[in-house]
Each structure stands twice: as structure tokens, then as C-alpha cells.
Structure 1
Amino acid sequence: MTTQNRNVEIEERHVEKKTDSSMVASTFIKYTAYIIIFFGALYFLVRYVFPMF
């Protein structure tokens, strides 16, 4: 049996996970605003609309 020397190229991948802190902050502010608006509307309903019934 004869063996051959094979040249095998190995591809290396280095994956770096990049986090964009401004994107995280803007998403946090957006959902915080949604929650404040939701509770504001709920407060309005409980305080002004429900007593009318």
C-alpha cells in the first residue's frame, strides 16, 4: 500500500458576538414607554370611566 500526502485546507472561523448597547438601550426605552402608556390608560379607565357605571 502506498500512502499519499494530502494537502487539506482547514477553514477556521472565529465568530465574535457584537452587542450594540445603543440598540439595547433604545429597545428598553421603547418597551418602558409601552408599559407606562398601558398603565396610564388603565389608570384612566379605573379613575374616570368605571365610576360612571
Structure 2
Amino acid sequence: MDDQRKVEVHKEIRSDNSMAGATFIKYAAYIIIFFGIIWFLINYILPMF
């Protein structure tokens, strides 16, 4: 007798929303810091020249 088992493999692919949110917050902070430095240079350092 040829016994063969049929095994169904189910893989669930999840997108980790918390990781995406953390990445968004990190890059948003980088952008805010960058524009803060640019604003500081324009308002305080540039007028000295």
C-alpha cells in the first residue's frame, strides 16, 4: 500500500505596523532636527555676516 500524507502548510505573513511606526517617528525626528538647525543658521548665524 502506498500511504501518502497530504500536509497543508499555512504561512501567515504579517507586516509589523509598530516597526513601521517607529521608523516613521525616527525619520520624522531627523527631519525636524535638520530643519531646526537650518532655521537656527538662518536666523542667528547668517545675520552676523
After TM superposition, the score normalised by the length of structure 1 is 0.69
Aligned residues: 42
Identity of aligned residues (%): 60
Where structure 2 has 5 or more consecutive residues not aligned to the other structure, the ranges are 1-7
Structure 1 segments of 4+ aligned residues over 6 angstroms from their partners: none
- For the aligned residue pairs, the C-alpha RMSD in angstroms reads 1.6
* Greater C-alpha Rg: 1
Hey, what's the Cα distance between the residues in 1 that align with 2:24 and 2:14?
18
Aligned: 1:19 with 2:28? no
Superposed CA deviations along residues 2-52 of structure 1, whole A, max 9, x for unmatched, are: xxxxxxxxxx87654320000000000000000000000000000000000
Q: Quick one: which of 26, 33, 49 aligns to 1:30?
A: 26
Where structure 1 has 5 or more consecutive residues not aligned to the other structure, the ranges are 1-11
Q: Which amino acid aligns with 2:34?
A: F
Aligned: 1:44 with 2:43? no
After TM superposition, the score normalised by the length of structure 2 is 0.74
